[in-house]
């Protein structure tokens, strides 16, 4: 090591935190390798000591889609617009899984890494961001399965497919925004840990995951579409299936605007509340 004549680096100044918004982007960038390493750890650990390994990423939504097809498509006899019910339910499940795993993991990531928080300094926001890496990977794997399904069932894509990255980005923004707020809140109040799963279950049935928006009674539609996930999942299905006929999707410009603003607003709220509480984590956790 040739460290005898170190150049004088720029001084770091530590002062009490004040102000509303001071997310240190430069520092986050310096720690980007850690973000990847943590994401890698997450992926590696998840399927260690499982027999089927990464196959579970595809098997889980496939099984759920099968159950939904049976319950909603066959027994309840609901309509799936334009595409076979199974493909329709799988698409919903794919979007929902991306949302729910991201939210679940970001909300618990701070508390789960309590020993790290208390003993080592690194930009705390690295933890929730590293979650994105592994959930996005899952999504891509699930998407490959989607392509296979579309080929098998003969569902032709249209140019709308190009908007798919935007929809998934918005779903992630919403999930991370909610997750960041929840994770910061969970440091002081562990109740959040128990509330989140319950709310998630409710949210899954209140969103068009297993059924189509067109099946919702007209008088409830306004309330139903107030849930931003309705717009996001509908948008994702539109991107995948609009080749089968546009008319069946209830995507108005108003709804799209609302959904986009809500997701981005939530992401910003999450970031602000997270960094407001960030420096107290080590004291409280």
Figure out which of the listed residues 15, 25, 198, 222 binds another protein, where binding follows CB under 8 A. 15
Please tell me whether residue 120 binds another protein under the rule CB under 8 A. yes
- Nearest distance from C-beta of residue 204 to another protein, angstroms: 23
Q: Whole-angstrom Cα distance, residue 183 to residue 74?
A: 39
Figure out which of the listed residues 28, 31, 160, 161 binds another protein, where binding follows CB under 8 A. 31
- Nearest distance from C-beta of residue 188 to another protein, angstroms: 8
Q: Whole-angstrom Cα distance, residue 56 to residue 52?
A: 7
Please tell me whether residue 22 binds another protein under the rule CB under 8 A. no
Cβ atoms < 10 Å from Cβ of 18: 6
What's the number of CA atoms in the CB half-sphere (13 Å) around residue 259? Answer: 26
Figure out which of the listed residues 45, 144, 148, 223 binds another protein, where binding follows CB under 8 A. 45
Q: Whole-angstrom Cα distance, residue 211 to residue 68?
A: 8
Q: What Cα–Cα distance (Å) separates residue 5 from each residue in 1, 11, 12?
A: 11, 17, 20
- Nearest distance from C-beta of residue 26 to another protein, angstroms: 14
Which 167-226 positions form the footprint of another protein (CB under 8 A)?
A: 188-192, 195
Figure out which of the listed residues 20, 33, 198, 205 binds another protein, where binding follows CB under 8 A. 33
- Nearest distance from C-beta of residue 127 to another protein, angstroms: 11
Q: Whole-angstrom Cα distance, residue 91 to residue 149?
A: 10
What's the number of CA atoms in the CB half-sphere (13 Å) around residue 31? Answer: 17
Sign of the alpha-carbon torsion through 73, 77, 80, 84: positive
Please tell me whether residue 51 binds another protein under the rule CB under 8 A. no
Write the binding mask 122 to 161 for another protein: x where contact by CB under 8 A, - elsewhere.
x---------------------------------------
Figure out which of the listed residues 77, 115, 154, 253 binds another protein, where binding follows CB under 8 A. 115
Residues that bind another protein (rule: CB under 8 A) add up to a total of 44
158 neighbors 144 (Cβ within 8 angstroms):
no
36 neighbors 133 (Cβ within 8 angstroms):
yes
Angle between helices 85-112 and 191-206 (to 10 degrees): 170
- Nearest distance from C-beta of residue 181 to another protein, angstroms: 13
For another protein, give the closer residue by CB, 230 or 275: 275
Residues within the interface to another protein (CB under 8 A): 1, 3-6, 8-17, 30-31, 33-34, 36-38, 41, 44-45, 48, 115-122, 188-192, 195, 279-280, 282-283
């Amino acid at each position: 090591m040739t460290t005898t004549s170190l150049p004088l680096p720029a001084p770091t100044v530590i002062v009490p935190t004040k102000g509303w918004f001071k997310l240190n982007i430069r520092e986050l960038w310096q720690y980007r390798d850690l973000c990847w390493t943590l994401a890698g750890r997450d992926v590696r650990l998840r399927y260690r000591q499982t027999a089927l390994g990464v196959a579970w990423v595809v098997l889980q939504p496939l099984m759920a889609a099968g159950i939904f097809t049976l319950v909603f498509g066959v027994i309840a006899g609901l309509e799936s617009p334009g595409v076979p019910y199974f493909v329709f339910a799988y698409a919903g499940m794919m979007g929902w899984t991306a949302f729910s795993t991201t939210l679940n993991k970001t909300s618990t990531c701070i508390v789960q890494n309590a020993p790290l928080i208390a003993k080592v300094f690194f930009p705390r926001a690295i933890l929730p961001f590293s979650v994105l890496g592994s959930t996005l990977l899952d999504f891509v794997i699930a998407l490959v399965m989607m392509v296979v399904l579309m080929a098998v069932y003969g569902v032709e894509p249209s140019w709308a497919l190009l908007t798919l990255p935007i929809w998934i980005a918005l779903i992630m923004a919403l999930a991370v925004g909610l997750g960041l707020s929840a994770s910061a809140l969970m440091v002081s109040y562990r109740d959040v840990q128990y509330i989140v799963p319950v709310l998630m279950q409710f949210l899954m049935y209140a969103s068009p995951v297993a059924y189509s928006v067109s099946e919702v009674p007209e008088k409830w539609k306004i309330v139903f579409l107030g849930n931003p996930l309705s717009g996001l999942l509908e948008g994702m299905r539109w991107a995948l299936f609009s080749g089968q006929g546009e008319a069946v999707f209830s995507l108005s410009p108003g709804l799209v605007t609302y959904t986009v603003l809500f997701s981005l607003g939530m992401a910003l709220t999450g970031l602000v509340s997270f960094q407001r509480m960030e420096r107290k984590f080590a004291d409280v956790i």
